[in-house]
Amino acid sequence: MSIFPKIKKCPCCTAINLIRINGVTYDNQFKSIEDLTLKKIFSCRECKQQLGLFINQSERKEKLIWLEHYKCYDDHFNDLSRLEIEKHKSKKASKKYFVILKEIRKVKNAISLSQTKAKIKLKIQNRGMLIRQI
């Protein structure tokens, strides 16, 4: 537990947040970053998005992650890791190898699309833009 708050920039809107960390650790629900410890969940003071402060105990590094944006990657993590294992097992000149590469590309495109949707949703919420139906 620290007396002084940590100063971190929001990864969404680059606003500066003061974070006070107590001794409580939260349950890390992300599969892809299990080695990190979730120390604090809070909302950004400007964009009101949920952020998580993760700490790597062995290297003493801190990461501030936008939880909704990272959840898009974590939803497809099992598929992506399974395809990477299959890719390494297959021969590089075989037809199966190229099919697996195509599947990996599809999964990565789906991740990118869902992260882009989250960013657009954030911009619409923050700026109060109205979208007219045509």
| pLDDT higher than threshold 80 for residue 126 | no
pLDDT at 78: 92
Domain map (residue ranges) of the chain? 6-66, 72-127
Burial 47-84 (b: 16+ CB within 10 A, else e): bebebbbbbeeeeeeeebbbebbbbbbeebeeebeebe
Task: Compute the distance between CA of residue 18 and CA of residue 94 in angstroms, rounded to an integer.
Answer: 53
Helix axes 67-75, 77-89, angle to 10 degrees: 40
| pLDDT higher than threshold 90 for residue 105 | yes
Q: Tell me: the pLDDT tens digits for 28-58?
A: 888 888 889 999 999 998 888 999 999 988 8
Evaluated on CA atoms 108, 35, 27, 18, the torsion sign reads: negative
pLDDT at 32: 87
73 falls in which pLDDT band (50, 70, 90)? very high
